[in-house]
Amino acid sequence: MNPWLVLAGAILVEVAGTLCLKAATDATTFAGRLVPGIGVAVFYGSTLVLMAIAMRTLEVGLTYTVWAGAGTALVTLAGIVVFKESFAWPKLAGVALVAAGVMVLHAWSEHEPATAPQTSDQSDRQEAPEASPDPQ
């Protein structure tokens, strides 16, 4: 499975969780908080699973940066559209800069040589250096 598609799914699910969190905090009754609260738990749990799957192939720094940056940009835009939060051109410029940064990271990662992720077994084992012949 394409790790970038999995990461895109993680981003969308995280945005859904954050929107549920906002809806839960805006609700005035227990019943009004219950469904969005369940959504928060399900969506945030799902995003962590999807990120872990994406990190099987993608580097952790790249995965987290793209996830956080794209999620932040989408939540900001969704806040403006869905919750009628304030709109300002500097806010939109910030979202555009985040999106540009995510695109640069994505483009750069495609040009780097692929390296196999090291498993914990491989990082714990150290090979003993070969003994050199005794010069005497």
Span 57-91, pLDDT tens digits: 999 988 998 899 899 989 999 999 999 999 899 98
Q: Full-prediction pTM beyond 0.85?
A: no
Q: Phi, psi at residue 126, to the nearest 5°?
A: -125, 130
Per-residue pLDDT of 16-31, as tens digits, reads 999 999 999 999 999 8
25 C-beta neighbours (distance < 10 Å), count: 11
Q: Nearest-CA neighbor of 36 among 47, 13, 20?
A: 20
Cα–Cα distance between 77 and 75 in angstroms, integer? 5
Q: Which two tokens stand for residue 122?
A: 């491989």
